[in-house]
Amino acid sequence: MHDLTFAKEIVRALNIKQNSIPNGSRITSINAALSPLSHVKPETLTETFRVMTKGTELDKIGLNIKVLKIELTCRTCKHAFQIDKPTTRCVKCNDSDLDMAYSKEFVIESINVADNQSQQKTS
How many CB atoms are located within 10 Å of the residue 54 CB? 9
- Cβ distance to Zn ion smaller for residue 12 or 92: 92
What is the β-pairing status of strands 26-34 and 106-114? antiparallel
Q: b vs e for 71-89, b when ≥16 Cβ sit within 10 Å of the residue's Cβ? A: ebebeeeeeeeeeeeeeee
Binding-site ranges for Zn ion (CB under 5 A): 74, 76-77, 79, 90, 92-93, 95
- Minimum CB separation from Zn ion for residue 116, in Å? 55
- Cβ distance to Zn ion smaller for residue 2 or 79: 79
As a whole number of angstroms, the distance between CA 59 and CA 25 comes to: 16
- Minimum CB separation from Zn ion for residue 70, in Å? 15
- Cβ distance to Zn ion smaller for residue 56 or 96: 96
- Minimum CB separation from Zn ion for residue 76, in Å? 5
